């Protein structure tokens, strides 16, 4: 059976629950086609969870990894597979810090290493797995299980080199300034580890509404993280003076509000105090934004727009040539788990068209945003075109990214509109097919009131716009928005 074409045949109905997005072995998303499915997923409803044919890799174990952990089983313990001993030991050290009395141990399974945890350590192992993205990938599991052949090491090295060169060309820097990691959050892990060499045992400061794991990783795995949601220069300066953080973290733009801080201002006041700035450009992309003059490190989830297929995980970390700490940072950046061979080869192949594909996604997203703004049922559309701070960072002839969010005038209709929307529905973004979700429900289900206080409504709908014909895509949204 040929894979399902999600451009023309999206996973949008109840019968599609749990279908992999895309329809491939290593898909990183799954269909949650109705509002009730999202709630059931968040409530850990057994029927919903059993219907899932895959899961976003940091939020759970891919079916191949589930098979692997069954084979790795040690009585009474939970297994967490890692690609390297260094990654497994990093997870073990985290568990020992958080639960010193709990039991854990390491075992080998072919090329992989498992951390086994008892009930006291398992929540901390799960947090490390989710927040850092350092766990083994589905492709590595397939090789360990003998279901796929081990890739050629030489071909994998060539793929990694090609990806770094491609990223270097996008950003206009040397490829040697870029390192590859198994996920975007693993890129952040490498950034925070490197920053510890400059400013040890200090918390971070994040500006703007956060993607959950960008905030959680420094809070849970490193030395704490504080969140500040203001654009006031004096307040930012005062917080920097009080906290004296290891680094300032910004998202370009934020998820799901799609707003940027005033990066030149933030950079100036942070750097004047000797504080580095770390940016996440996953949504804006380096194709559209030039943040290099203002930041020291940029991490990116290559899983998203760079790959565009939704079937390979990867991340990158870039050292800005403008950073005063550039030589020091380049000297210490490393990772306990490099990007796997099979993943590197898949990522290289998927990203060959990135410079042509991303501008198309950008244009389609802008067209949908403009249509939604004119619709009487829509109260607000959130899109980077309306953020002056984003515009300041744009390269010549650039776009705004593939992501938008919108809020209806009548919040009670959000579920009806979402359920009727004929596009694939599930987590992730940047895919060549349109992907929608009730973002606040998925990312902040246990803190909806807090998110609402931060200006992120519980009924907000987020859309990653794909390569469908823009007019035909708008017809799908128009139909769903009908009373």
Q: How many CB atoms lie within 10 A of CB 93?
A: 12
Span 334-360, mean pLDDT? Answer: 97
Domain ranges (residues) in the chain: 14-54+354-481, 63-136, 153-352
- Is the predicted pLDDT of residue 1 greater than 50, yes or no? no
- β-sheet bridge partners, residue 106: 115
- Is the predicted pLDDT of residue 378 greater than 50, yes or no? yes
14-29: per-residue pLDDT in tens?
A: 999 999 999 999 999 9
48: Cα separation from own chain's centroid: 23
- The Cα 76–Cα 68 span in angstroms is 16
Strand, coil or helix: what is 37?
Answer: helix
- Is the predicted pLDDT of residue 271 greater than 50, yes or no? yes
64-77: per-residue pLDDT in tens?
A: 999 999 999 898 99
Selection from 358, 61, 98 nearest residue 222 by Cα = 98
223-239: per-residue pLDDT in tens?
A: 999 999 999 999 999 99
Asked if CATH classification 2.40.440.10 holds for the domain at 14-54+354-481, the reply, yes or no, is: no
431-479: per-residue pLDDT in tens?
A: 999 999 999 999 999 999 999 999 999 999 999 999 999 999 999 999 9
Q: What are phi and psi of 297, to 5 degrees?
A: -140, 140
Question: What six digits make up the tokens of 416?
Answer: 């009806």
- The Cα 200–Cα 162 span in angstroms is 34
Please tell me what DSSP assigns to residue 377. Answer: T
Give the chain's length.
483
Q: What percent of the chain has pLDDT over 90?
A: 98
pLDDT value for 2: 62
Residue 138: burial class (beta carbons within 10 Å; 0-12, 13-18, 19+): buried
Asked if CATH classification 3.40.50.1860 holds for the domain at 153-352, the reply, yes or no, is: no
- The Cα 18–Cα 41 span in angstroms is 10
- The Cα 144–Cα 149 span in angstroms is 9
pLDDT value for 478: 98
106-131: per-residue pLDDT in tens?
A: 999 999 999 999 999 999 999 999 99
Span 285-293, mean pLDDT? Answer: 98
- Is the predicted pLDDT of residue 135 greater than 80, yes or no? yes
- Is the predicted pLDDT of residue 318 greater than 80, yes or no? yes
Q: What is the mean pLDDT of the chain?
A: 97
Span 286-295, mean pLDDT? Answer: 98
241-262: per-residue pLDDT in tens?
A: 999 999 999 999 999 999 999 9
CA atoms within 13 A on the CB side of 228: 24
pLDDT value for 52: 96
- Strand 20-21 relative to strand 29-30, pairing: antiparallel
- Strand 435-437 relative to strand 424-425, pairing: parallel
Span 207-211, mean pLDDT? Answer: 94
If one looks up domain 63-136 in CATH, what number appears?
3.30.70
pLDDT value for 3: 84
Question: What six digits make up the tokens of 430?
Answer: 């940047």
Span 288-315, mean pLDDT? Answer: 98
Span 428-432, mean pLDDT? Answer: 97
């Amino acid at each position: 059976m040929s894979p399902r074409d999600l451009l023309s045949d999206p996973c949008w109905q109840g019968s599609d629950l749990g279908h992999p997005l895309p329809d491939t072995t290593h898909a990183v998303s799954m269909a949650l086609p109705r509002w009730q499915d999202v709630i059931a997923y968040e409530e850990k409803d057994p029927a919903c969870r059993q219907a899932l044919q895959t899961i976003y890799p940091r939020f759970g174990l891919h079916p191949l990894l589930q098979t692997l952990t069954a084979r790795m089983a040690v009585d009474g313990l939970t297994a967490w597979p890692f690609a390297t001993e260094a990654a497994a030991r990093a997870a073990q050290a985290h568990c020992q810090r958080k639960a010193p009395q709990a039991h854990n141990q390491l075992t080998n399974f072919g090329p992989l290493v498992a951390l086994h945890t008892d009930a006291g350590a398992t929540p901390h192992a799960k947090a490390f797995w989710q927040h850092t993205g350092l766990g083994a990938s589905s492709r590595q599991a397939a090789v360990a299980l003998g279901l796929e052949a081990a890739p050629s090491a030489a071909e994998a090295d060539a793929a990694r080199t090609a990806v770094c060169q491609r990223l270097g060309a996008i950003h206009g820097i040397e490829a040697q300034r870029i390192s590859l990691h198994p996920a975007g959050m693993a890129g952040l892990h490498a950034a925070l580890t490197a920053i510890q060499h400059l400013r040890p045992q200090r918390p971070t400061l994040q500006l703007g509404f956060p993607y959950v794991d960008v905030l959680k990783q420094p809070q849970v795995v490193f030395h704490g993280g504080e969140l500040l949601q203001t654009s006031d220069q004096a307040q930012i300066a005062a917080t920097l003076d009080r906290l004296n953080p290891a680094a300032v973290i910004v998202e370009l733009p934020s998820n799901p509000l799609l707003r940027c801080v005033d990066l030149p201002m933030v950079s100036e006041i942070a750097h004047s105090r000797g504080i580095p700035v770390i940016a996440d450009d996953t949504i804006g992309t380096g194709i559209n934004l030039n943040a290099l003059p203002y930041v020291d490190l940029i991490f990116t989830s290559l899983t998203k727009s760079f790959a565009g297929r939704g079937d390979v995980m990867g991340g990158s970390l870039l050292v800005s040539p403008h950073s005063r700490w550039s030589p020091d940072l380049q000297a210490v950046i490393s990772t306990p788990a490099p990007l796997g061979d099979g993943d590197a080869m898949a990522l290289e192949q998927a990203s060959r068209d990135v410079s042509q594909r991303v501008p198309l996604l950008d244009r389609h997203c802008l067209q949908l945003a403009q249509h939604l703004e004119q619709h009487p049922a829509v109260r607000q559309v959130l899109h980077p075109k309306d953020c002056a701070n984003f515009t300041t960072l744009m390269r010549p002839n650039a776009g705004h990214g593939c992501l938008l969010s919108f809020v209806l005038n009548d919040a009670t209709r959000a579920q009806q509109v979402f359920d009727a929307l004929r596009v694939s529905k599930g987590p992730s973004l940047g895919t060549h097919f349109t992907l929608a979700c009730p973002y606040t429900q998925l990312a902040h289900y246990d803190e909806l009131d807090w998110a609402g206080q931060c200006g992120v409504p519980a009924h907000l709908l987020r859309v990653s716009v794909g390569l469908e014909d823009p007019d035909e895509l708008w017809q799908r949204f128009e139909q769903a928005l009908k009373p």
